Structure 1
Amino acid sequence: MASAAKRRRLASITPEQWATFCQDGWVVLKKEEVFSVGQLEVLQKRIDEIMLKIADVPYDKMLFQLDTGKPGQHENNGEHTLGHKGETLGYRKIQNLEHDPDFLSYMKLPIFEDACRRAYDQGQPIRIYRAMFFNKPASQGSHLPWHQDRWPCLDRDPVFSAYTALDASSPANGCVQVVRGSHKRGVINPDNHSGFLTPQQVADIVKDEDVVDLTLEEGDVALIHNLLLHRSGVNSTSTPRRAVSVCYMDGLTAFDPQHHPPDVKGCVQDEHALVFPGTVCG
């Protein structure tokens, strides 16, 4: 790979990068390959503005969850519901970032479209299933157990998410850990609606030699297969660990009527932002 000084912004994934994604379950794109000058700084500033409620965004259409304020298990955090919950930088999750024009513009970069064309049929429209801010505030955060990202309510699984490090990540601040090649196992625990493994499944599948710390520099983007096993820990440092994860899905995806409540629309086409139009119509 080229040195940082020679690395340039890419409009497409290289064959070698995509081969790594397919083999390992993730691939890291460097900041200079993704961002134009100043673009990362715009997103870093914007997410703080959203948390402090000084951004012009539809807060009533965005999901917010506060961090509890002390390290612990993820189940002990606040409700993840619509609406702003106070002017603080202590949010754990913020969802529906596609409602912000700066983040939406970032989600539409050509390099992400190219990744989608490799992951899905060439003619498929591509929509955002989930655009979420993840935060482990300074000296806070929670343990997130081993799991896969999947949603039984969908009639087909989205293939990957683009995980952007707004801050550098390391084991000290609770970086993501992954199990190399685990996406090739398919769905491991279909009985859990959030994809979490049982203790026995963890003991049987997760081997120390296959666990990798997803150490990222500020501005790095990891394309992560949604079935890749991953987890994260707490932040023991004095600075936050912020990231944005965007899950791209086949734009013709529909809800499975067996796995969603009756008041939810049967088709997601009107509910999720279209980012890359296709030639196939539903």
Structure 2
Amino acid sequence: MPPKMIEYTASLVGVQKAATTTLHGILREHPGFARRNPKEIHFFDDENVDWSDPDYSEYAKRAKRPRERVALDSTPSYIFIPNALRRMHDYRPEMKLIAAFRDPIDRAFSAWNMEFARRDTWPSFGQAVRDGQLSKVPPESTWKRIGSAKWDLVARGLYAQQLSRGLEVYPREQWLLMTFEQIVKDPTTAVNEVAQFIGLRPFEPETADKPRWSSPGGLDAAPVTAADIELLASSYVDELPAFVELTGFDISMWTTSRVLAGELAPADVAERLNKKAGLVLRP
């Protein structure tokens, strides 16, 4: 008998650099989780698909073991890319969605760090913040994918806009909302919350305390400045209160919240980020 096919019934839709890799990686230990399930499928944000008549035949995984019954599509761009969730809803209106959120400044720096380490032609962090062409989440009606993370560095932290749009597509009861802090401080509890939400029994993961991907150091780029942090924080003045209203999260200890409240000096944030990445001034 050929192995059974497991359809995707849940999706970890965002956000980028908010411990989605950690969640997906630990879930792979669960006996009911499809072991051949890669993390990012990028099915619903593929602009090359004919979305007037999509072929869903490949959007499933073959079970490797008899106990496997859940596959999770962990593509953190889905909540950001216009039309992705609407396409998903056309496929499965009952899909369960998980979204993790991280402080916008720390998220942006982590994303920039990752991209710059891959290609040193990337602009400095400050330049990427200033050059970002997307000051708000791109509208569905006029979306044309730019295809470069340096243009959406700021916009991917506009969580209230993204979540509001997502809630227009899927009702609140089909969402599990989490924070980066929940996941990294207690990964076992966090991953079991996800497991229960997607229909798996609680389990004791063996690698919950295993070190995960960390930002590379010694990058040859212009250091972050206090002005960079001030400019970036100002992008979220209206976003953070709206995000709290949607989620009920206490984000008072987020870096962005503290900068905006005057509790944390932008220069101190810049110094911390520079130290973390080992940034050195280019000659």
TM-score, length basis structure 1:
0.26
Higher strand share: 1
Q: Which has the larger radius of gyration?
A: 2
Larger RCO, structures 1/2 (Cα 8 Å, 6+ apart): 1
Higher helix share: 2
